Amino acid sequence: MTWLDLLLRNLWRRPGRSGFTLIGVALAVGSFLTLVGLSRGMDAAAQDSLDERGVDLVVVRRDIMEFFASVLPEELEADILRLPGVAEVSAELATLTPMGEDAHAIVAGWRPDSFEWRSVKLVRGSMPERGQHGVVLGDALAGALHADIGSVVAFSFTPFRVTGIAAFTSALNRGIAVLCLDELQALLARPNQVTMFNVRLAQPADAAALASARTEIAALRPDLSVTTTDAVMRGNKAVQVLAAASGAIALVALTMAALSVLNTLAMAVEERTRDIGILAAIGWSRARILALILSEGLLLAGLGGLLGAGLGWLGNHTLNLLVVPGGGLSARATVTLMLLALAASLALGACGALWPAWRAARLDPASALRR
Amino acid sequence: MPHPHTDCPPLVRLEQVGRSFDAGRIVALQAVDLAIDPGDLVAVHGPSGSGKSTLFNLMAGLDRPSTGTVVFDGRPMPTPAEWARLRHGRIGLVFQDFNLLPTLTAVENIELAMFGGVRGTAERRRHALDRLAELGMAQCADRLPQLLSGGERRRVSVARALANHPELLLADEPTANLDSATGAMVAELLLALHRSHAMALVIVTHDQGLIARCPRRVRLLDGRATEHAAAVALAIA
């Protein structure tokens, strides 16, 4: 009989109670992974999307509640372009809009002469001509809308003909719809306004040049936020609120799981007082008895954590499928995050088991045997 | 009452040991002096409530005396951790209520006593099976305690007590709750083990037949101990 056999045998004495505790831990870890994965995934999705389009710096309005609320004058593009180190600037107007019955999409307006427009690789079709009311769809969005070249899709009740299907690889871009900037400005009644400027630098690998460009751009207007692609979502208040709420809910879930482990083991110690007395009577030290109960807690939490990692992956996957075509939210439970969740579940198992284990170790053998 | 059985110091010595409960209102033992030497065979007897189980617990380090001193192998008043180590290696206990873990099989109950020793998993299993075989219980190795008869459970508990080759075996009412034939078989077994393992054996018992076969007899009455030599005791009987 190994130590693990002994632990499993003890937990199996009350299969229902152990099972429900394990499920509780799994749900807590799964919730943690889904919520934290969602908030981290949004960061990563934005970065992947911008990197794929060759963007080095993003200029948006500072202190905005959410990304799409950023409003900047289009003429600022020329000022940015004049700055040293800046190679190209692409003005972008973006909005998140319902499309079809179940889908949402980011609709982006780019100027046809911009580097982003030029960087679009197409699976088939072509980029739309100005005034043509044409649109290029990411392949995932096209799939979700059952649209292909020549199909007509509607934004804000206005029909657009699909002229091309883009071959993007990042999740956000696969769910994007691209049309000419001036047509989107007209559609949204936002003439000469853009959401952001995407900047390509002459020497993006040069950290000093990058820092200098950021400073120069930020100095143009006091209300500008200039970030690298990895930090583009961090200034977004809505994302910050989401991250904080996710973190708080995850923390509550993990605390509940720790209490559940504590409750299970406290009851087990109470029920097994005599058994623990027997262990003490046959020479088990307090440390070994403590280790036994702690190990039971760690095993429960560890198994729950593994199950929760699976649930977290499933939760993220489902969230991606449900909300934006092509997994646009990019809620992702990375291996690091899963390991972190597993470590957290083991830590909460240890926390939950500590008091029952201490109680068990302190039991007086003679009185325990009288129970 | 020192008993110079050998030249070695006593294995366990109780010096003026008393134990009371409920803030001194219940006195279980008073000023008991007793020495158990290596290889001794001692019967502790007396009526119910005379303090036999309390004496058993004190000699095993399961309880601490209210007054006096318990000395094990020259070490006065071992700490709880030291007592645990002693019960793990040098003291074997056989309980009246068997005290086998119900979720573990017979052989696993014996293995449990060996956890923390130097043996690995396979070695523990082999050694536990050897102990069971020694007591004629090999065929019951994989049975849970509730599927064993009283006599079989007792033998498993004896096998567990012998798991780590103790120098002192303490048996609390080993023939109680057994039919007379099984009780006699268990008594024979313990005495045979005492001889073959050359260990001290202290038997707390009501069993007159078993008492009569022990050269040293300690009678407890109202918490006080008196020792009778075998010949005197036999004469009284």
Q: What is the pLDDT of residue A322?
A: 66
A32 plus A170 within the same structural domain: no
Burial (CB count within 10 angstroms: exposed 0-12, middle 13-18, buried 19+), residue B2: exposed
Residue A354 predicted with pLDDT over 70:
yes
CB contact under 8 Å between A13 and B103, yes or no, is: yes
B34 vs A: CB within 8 A: no
What does DSSP assign to residue A231? G
A68 plus A214 within the same structural domain: yes
- Type of residue found at A243: A
From residue A156, how far is each of A32, A75, A121, A147, A225 by CA, in Å? Answer: 36, 26, 26, 17, 29
State the Cα–Cα distance between residues B126 and A79, nearest whole angstrom: 85
Residue B32: phi and psi, rounded to 5, are -85, 130
* Alpha helices by DSSP H, chain B: 52-60, 80-89, 106-112, 121-134, 150-161, 180-197, 208-212, 230-236
A34 plus A157 within the same structural domain: no
A127 plus A188 within the same structural domain: yes
Across chain A, what does the average pLDDT equal? 87
State the Cα–Cα distance between residues A121 and A166, nearest whole angstrom: 6
Q: B75: Cβ–Cβ under 8 A, 6 or more apart, which residues?
A: B82
> Does A49 map to a domain?
no
Chain A residue with the nearest C-alpha to that of B85: A283
Our CA-based measurement puts residue B170 at a distance from the nearest CA of chain A, in whole angstroms, of 12
Q: B194: Cβ–Cβ under 8 A, 6 or more apart, which residues?
A: B41, B169, B201
Structural domain span for residue A360? 3-44+239-369
Across chain B, what does the average pLDDT equal? 89
First to last CA, chain B: 22
Q: What is the dihedral of CA A166, A170, A176, A177, to 10 degrees?
A: -20
B57 vs A: CB within 8 A: yes
A13 compared with B202, residue with greater pLDDT: B202
Residue A244 predicted with pLDDT over 50:
yes
State the Cα–Cα distance between residues A297 and A362, nearest whole angstrom: 18
B156-178 pLDDT, tens digit each: 999 999 999 999 999 999 988 88
What count of Cα atoms within 13 Å lies in the side-chain half-sphere of residue A163? Answer: 18
Question: Among B91, B108, B164, whose Cβ lies nearest the Cβ of A1?
Answer: B108
> Within 10 A of A63 (CB to CB), how many other CB atoms are there?
9
Q: What is the pLDDT of residue A144?
A: 85
> Does A230 map to a domain?
no
CB contact under 8 Å between A369 and B95, yes or no, is: yes
A129 plus A179 within the same structural domain: yes
> Does A59 map to a domain?
no
A213 plus A159 within the same structural domain: yes
A154 plus A114 within the same structural domain: yes
Say how many CB pairs under 8 Å bridge A and B.
Answer: 71
A261-320 pLDDT, tens digit each: 888 888 888 888 888 899 999 999 999 999 999 999 899 889 998 998 889 888 887 877
Q: How confident is the model at residue A100 (pLDDT cuts 50, 70, 90)?
A: low
State the Cα–Cα distance between residues B196 and B191, nearest whole angstrom: 9
Pick the CATH number of B1-90+166-237 from 3.30.830.10, 3.40.190.10, 3.60.15.10, 3.40.50.300: 3.40.50.300
Note whether B49 and B220 are within 8 A (CB). Answer: no
